C-alpha cells in the first residue's frame, strides 16, 4: 500500500455500506478523510468514529447531483486539509425498477443525475484540486456489474453505470500526463442496505441473485473498500482507465 499518513481522501456516499467501509479503510491507513453524504446524521457518525479511533476526518453534507454542493465540498476539503490525493466517487441510487415504457421522466432524470452527472460534477471539481496538490492522485468511480451487462427492468440504472465507465475511460486518457489515474469498480451484489431491503421485500429474488454469483455468496463492503485502496496504492501504479469487476465471478459467465 502507498503510505497515506500525509494524504487526503474524499469519499462520497460515505454514510453507509461501501462508502462507509472505504472511508474507514482510508482512515485506518492514516489518511485524512472528507466524509461526504446527504444523510447528515449518519455521515457525521462515520466522521466521529474515525476521530474516536485517532484519525482525522471532516463530515461535509452534500448532494452530488447539485453542482454547487460538489464545488463546496471540494473547497471545504482543501480548506481543512490543504490537499486532495484520493477520491472515491461512490454516491449512487438504484432508482425504480420496471420496463422501459413505464420508466418515468422523474426516475430517469434522478437516477442519471446522481449516478452519472454526480460523478462528472465530482471529477470536475476534484481534478483541479489534485493538480494543485501536485498531481499523482487517484480517482475511483463506483460503477456496477450493471455497467458491464444489461439487466431488464433497470434501464436508467444500467445506462447510468455504463456512462460512469465511459466517463472514467475518457478522464483516464485526459489525466495520464498529470499522473492522475482514474479507474472504476464494478461490484456485484454486496451486502448493503439495498440487499437488506431485498431480504425483507423479495427474498426469492435475493436467493436468485446469490445463486447467480459463482462464489455463491454476497460480497462484503470491506471487500470493495480493499479494491479501492489497492487502486489508490503504488501497487496499482500502472493501472488506469479500467473497469474492475469485483463480483464473485458474475461477469465471467
User: What's the pLDDT score for residue 16?
Assistant: 97
User: What's the pLDDT score for residue 197?
Assistant: 81
How many Å apart are CA 233 and CA 2, to the nearest integer?
Answer: 5
Judge whether residue 198 has pLDDT over 80: no
Q: Which of 23, 30, 65 is nearest to 44 (CA)?
A: 23
- Does the pTM of the predicted model rise above 0.75? yes
Question: Which pLDDT band holds residue 118 (cuts at 50, 70, 90)?
Answer: very high
Average pLDDT on 111-127 reads: 98
Judge whether residue 1 has pLDDT over 80: no
Judge whether residue 165 has pLDDT over 70: yes
Catalytic residue among 157, 164, 180, 219: 157
Summarised one tens digit per residue, pLDDT across range 28-61 is 999 999 999 999 999 999 999 999 999 999 999 9
pLDDT: which is higher, 193 or 142? 142
Q: Which of 119, 110, 174 is nearest to 141 (CA)?
A: 119
With a pLDDT cut of 70, the percent of the chain lying above it is 99
Question: Which pLDDT band holds residue 244 (cuts at 50, 70, 90)?
Answer: very high
User: What's the pLDDT score for residue 193?
Assistant: 85
Determine which helix (DSSP H) or strand (DSSP E) holds 10, and give its type and residue range. Answer: strand 8-11
User: What's the pLDDT score for residue 184?
Assistant: 98
Q: Which of 48, 45, 39 is nearest to 12 (CA)?
A: 39
Judge whether residue 2 has pLDDT over 60: no
Q: Is the dihedral of CA 183, 136, 7, 71 positive or negative?
A: negative
Q: Specify whether the CB–CB gap between 120 and 167 falls below 8 A.
A: yes
Tell me if residue 232 falls in helix, strand or coil. coil
User: What's the pLDDT score for residue 135?
Assistant: 87
Q: Which of 148, 245, 191 is nearest to 18 (CA)?
A: 191
Judge whether residue 235 has pLDDT over 80: yes
Q: Specify whether the CB–CB gap between 94 and 88 falls below 8 A.
A: no
Average pLDDT on 81-95 reads: 97
The CATH code for residues 8-189+220-252 is 3.40.50.720
Respond yes or no: is residue 250 known to be catalytic: no
Judge whether residue 205 has pLDDT over 90: no
User: What's the pLDDT score for residue 50?
Assistant: 98
How far apart, in Å, are the Cα atoms of 200 and each of 19, 91, 157, 207, 220?
A: 23, 23, 22, 12, 19
Judge whether residue 23 has pLDDT over 70: yes
Amino acid at each position: 500500500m502507498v503510505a497515506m499518513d500525509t494524504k487526503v481522501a474524499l469519499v462520497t456516499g460515505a454514510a453507509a455500506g461501501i462508502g462507509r467501509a472505504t472511508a474507514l479503510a482510508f482512515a485506518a491507513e492514516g489518511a485524512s478523510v472528507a466524509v461526504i453524504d446527504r444523510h447528515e446524521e449518519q455521515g457525521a457518525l462515520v466522521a466521529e468514529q474515525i476521530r474516536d479511533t485517532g484519525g482525522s476526518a471532516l463530515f461535509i453534507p452534500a448532494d452530488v447531483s447539485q453542482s454547487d454542493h460538489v464545488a463546496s465540498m471540494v473547497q471545504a476539503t482543501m480548506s481543512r486539509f490543504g490537499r486532495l490525493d484520493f477520491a472515491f466517487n461512490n454516491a449512487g441510487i438504484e432508482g425504480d425498477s420496471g420496463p422501459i415504457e413505464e420508466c418515468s421522466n422523474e426516475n430517469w432524470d434522478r437516477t442519471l443525475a446522481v449516478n452519472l452527472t454526480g460523478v462528472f460534477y465530482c471529477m470536475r471539481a476534484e481534478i483541479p484540486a489534485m493538480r494543485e496538490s501536485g498531481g499523482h492522485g487517484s480517482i475511483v468511480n463506483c460503477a456496477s456489474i450493471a455497467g458491464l451487462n444489461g439487466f431488464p427492468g433497470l434501464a436508467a440504472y444500467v445506462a447510468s453505470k455504463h456512462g460512469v465507465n465511459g466517463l472514467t475511460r475518457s478522464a483516464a486518457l485526459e489525466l495520464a500526463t498529470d499522473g492522475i489515474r482514474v479507474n472504476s469498480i464494478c461490484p456485484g451484489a454486496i451486502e448493503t442496505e439495498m440487499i437488506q431491503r431485498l431480504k425483507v421485500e423479495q427474498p426469492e429474488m435475493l436467493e436468485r441473485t446469490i445463486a447467480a454469483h459463482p462464489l455463491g455468496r454476497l460480497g462484503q463492503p470491506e471487500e470493495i473498500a480493499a479494491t479501492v485502496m489497492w487502486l489508490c496504492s503504488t501497487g496499482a501504479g500502472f493501472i488506469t482507465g479500467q473497469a474492475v469487476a469485483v463480483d464473485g465471478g458474475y461477469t465471467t459467465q
